[in-house]
Structure 1
Amino acid sequence: MKVTRELLREIRNDLPMKLTITRLGQHGPIGKHSDGFFRFQCPFCKELRATVNPKNNLAHCFSCGENVNNIDLMMLQGHDFLPAVKILGNWLDQYRRDLSDGRSTA
């Protein structure tokens, strides 16, 4: 898999963060839907106030002010950059296949 700017943009913007957190399972942060937004436990301050902006798929913690995207989240879970991008790229491909097949995701 070649890492391009386009691939990185697609991973950050097109792969729903909820799907990434769901795929991380017990190794990822806890998350929930609240007031129409997906929120999860901030990997920095541990408060359940990291909220995903549905327009850009970026999470912002309203406690500590940190921003997190899918790649950041994987690296904070202990993955190096290239393995994180490879995993996320595969999840993005599967997400797109599921969408085109009409299957439910995350």
Structure 2
Amino acid sequence: MITRELLRAIRNDLPMKLTVTRLGQHGPISKQSDGYFRFQCPHCKELRATVNPKNNLAHCFCCQKNTNNIDLMLLQGHDFVPAVTILRRWLEDYRDDLGDPTPSANSDSLQTS
């Protein structure tokens, strides 16, 4: 089962910059500018989606839509469960790199059977 805690961690704790970077050539065009991470909005295609570092939510200043990590994966064509599985793995890797083994990111938090 996919827990509420796992979804919150993916949405809030996994940096959007890491998600966009890991998507590589399949992800949106991005840049670091004026201290903010910006990327091509998946809705309007303008390079105006800016990540708020306080809440890890991208807001497009062109079409006014918000995007989080899960939204971004779904808009890239992934189905929900595979998207969460990929993002959970990236979150685990990110936390391992930080030395932060938080329980909500462990493999027991997601059961797809």
When normalised by structure 1's length, the TM-score is 0.92
Structure 1: any 5+ residue segments left out of the alignment? 102-106
| Cα shift at 1:99 | 1.1
Specify the SS of the correspondent of 2:42. Answer: coil
Residue in structure 2 matched with residue 85 of structure 1 by the alignment: 84
Higher RCO by CA contacts (8 Å cutoff, separation 6 or greater): 2
Q: Map residues 8-27 of structure 1 onto 2, 5 A cutoff.
A: 8-27=7-26
Structure 1 CA distance, aligned partners of 2:26 and 2:54?
A: 26
Could you list the per-position Cα deviations for residues 45-85 of structure 1 after superposition, in whole angstroms to 9, with x for gaps in the alignment? Answer: 11100000000100000000010000000000100011100
- Counterpart of 1:94 in structure 2 is 93
% identical aligned pairs? 79
Distance in 1 between residues matched to 2:14 and 2:81, nearest whole Å: 17
| Distance in 2 separating the partners of 1:18 and 1:30 | 11
Q: How far has the Cα of 1:30 moved from its partner?
A: 0.8
> TM-score of the superposition, structure 2-length normalised?
0.86
State the one-letter code of the partner of 1:14. Answer: D
Partner of 1:38: 37
Number of residue pairs matched by the alignment: 100
Deviation at 1:100, TM superposition (A): 1.3
For the aligned residue pairs, the C-alpha RMSD in angstroms reads: 1.0
Tell me if 1:69 matches 2:68: yes
Higher Rg of the two aligned structures: 2
1:15-71 deviation digits (Å, cap 9, x = unpaired): 000000000000000111111100000001111000000001000000000100000
Query: For residues 6 and 56 of structure 1, what CA distance do their matches in structure 2 show?
Result: 16
- Deviating above 6 A after TM superposition, structure 1's stretches of 4 or more consecutive aligned residues are none
* 1:68 maps to amino acid: T
Residue 56 of structure 2 is matched in structure 1 by 57
Counterpart residue identity of residue 68, structure 2: N
